[in-house]
Structure 1
Amino acid sequence: MKELNIIEADLSNEKHTDAILHVTNEYAKHPMGLGKPLPEDIREKLIDEIQNFPVWFSLIAFYDDQPAGIVNCVYSFSTFNAAKVINVHDLAVLKNFRSKGIGEALLAAVEKKAKETNCCKITLEVRADNRAKNLYERMNFEYGEPKMFFMSKYL
């Protein structure tokens, strides 16, 4: 029987850091990511930079002890609710592990953590052409009113 385990990443555990780097790099290669691998200089410093970012956490999905997916999140704050918010920055499931409920399990684990840490909501951004929109809608994420756009200015 296939076994799925969702665990919070321990950045002192090489198996966890290797999984974060591997899945994040595979996600970066996909058209929904960068469309190319992470640059080598980013791969070399990613874990160190995450360790220095106290509001970050990652949950890793291991399927039969193989890294299958991750969700990278950051805590934010809602002034309108005077409470913490979790923002899902990346949700990625490796191609060979899709359609096994891993994305749903990762989001359910984020929701559990949000409730345990007294967050008022979970946020995420999704591209209009990303098939993961269906997953987010099944997991009761909604489009807000008024309709918002995610904008970026890279420095």
Structure 2
Amino acid sequence: MFNIIEANLATPAHAAALVELLNHYAMDAMGGGEPLSDQVKNTLAAELHKRPTARVVLAFDGEIPAGLIICFEGFSTFACKPLLNLHDVVVHQSYRGKGLFRLMLQQVESIAQELGCCKLTMEVLEGNHVALVAYKANGFAGYDLVAGMGQAVFWQKKLF
């Protein structure tokens, strides 16, 4: 049985679980294949804790960190309501295929409903086929605003 909670990043065990799981994800091919830097490991929990729009959901198997979703509140101008973006989704390799994402997503949806959000958003690598299947099975889909203009894409411009 998993324990799914909204993290309090001022709690050392929650902060440690956040870093452990995000580092696990970073070392996976879908996370870039390299560990987090020491600077990120040492400051991430404190930096996220300072941001009032950040929400972190953790899953534990007893005391063992098993899963993580980091979300940020955004705003839909077309709906004039908040939204919640799933920025990082991590299920530790040892727990994949056990329905853990679905359980964590239920907690995220509860948070989104409390915030009055109109939708959840996320980005995913198109080559991450396992994640795509899980996200589609849980109601996520690409979107378009106008037929014929294609689906929305997620781009970035690095500043450093």
TM range (shorter): over 0.9
Aligned partner of 1:98 in structure 2 is 96
Instruction: Tell me how far 1:87 sits from its aligned partner.
Output: 0.1
User: C-alpha separation between the residues in 2 aligned to 1:53 and 1:152?
Assistant: 21
Instruction: Tell me how far 1:64 sits from its aligned partner.
Output: 2.5
Moved more, 112-121 or 77-86: 112-121
SS at match of 1:92: strand
Instruction: Tell me how far 1:93 sits from its aligned partner.
Output: 0.5
Aligned partner of 1:151 in structure 2 is 155
Moved more, 3-12 or 87-96: 3-12
1:59-138 pair list within 5 angstroms: 59-130=57-128, 131-138=130-137
Instruction: Tell me how far 1:152 sits from its aligned partner.
Output: 0.5
Instruction: Tell me how far 1:20 sits from its aligned partner.
Output: 0.2
SS at match of 1:106: helix
Alignment deviations for residues 65-116 of structure 1 (CA, whole Å, 9 cap, x no partner): 3110000000000111110000000000000111111011111211121112
Q: Which amino acid aligns with 1:83?
A: K
Structure 1, unaligned stretches of length 5 or more?
A: none
Moved more, 143-152 or 19-28: 143-152
User: C-alpha separation between the residues in 1 aligned to 2:152 and 2:33?
Assistant: 25
Q: How many residues are matched?
A: 153
CA RMSD of aligned residues (A): 0.9
Q: Which amino acid aligns with 1:138?
A: A
Using the aligned pairs only, state the percent identity. 35
1:37-52 pair list within 5 angstroms: 37-52=35-50
SS at match of 1:104: helix
User: C-alpha separation between the residues in 2 aligned to 1:23 and 1:59?
Assistant: 12
Structure 2, unaligned stretches of length 5 or more?
A: 145-149
User: C-alpha separation between the residues in 2 aligned to 1:52 and 1:21?
Assistant: 16
Conservation of the 8 A alpha-carbon contact between 2:10 and 2:46: no
Aligned partner of 1:139 in structure 2 is 138
Query: TM-score, normalized by length of structure 1?
Result: 0.95
Q: Which amino acid aligns with 1:143?
A: G
Q: Which amino acid aligns with 1:151?
A: W
User: C-alpha separation between the residues in 2 aligned to 1:148 and 1:105?
Assistant: 27
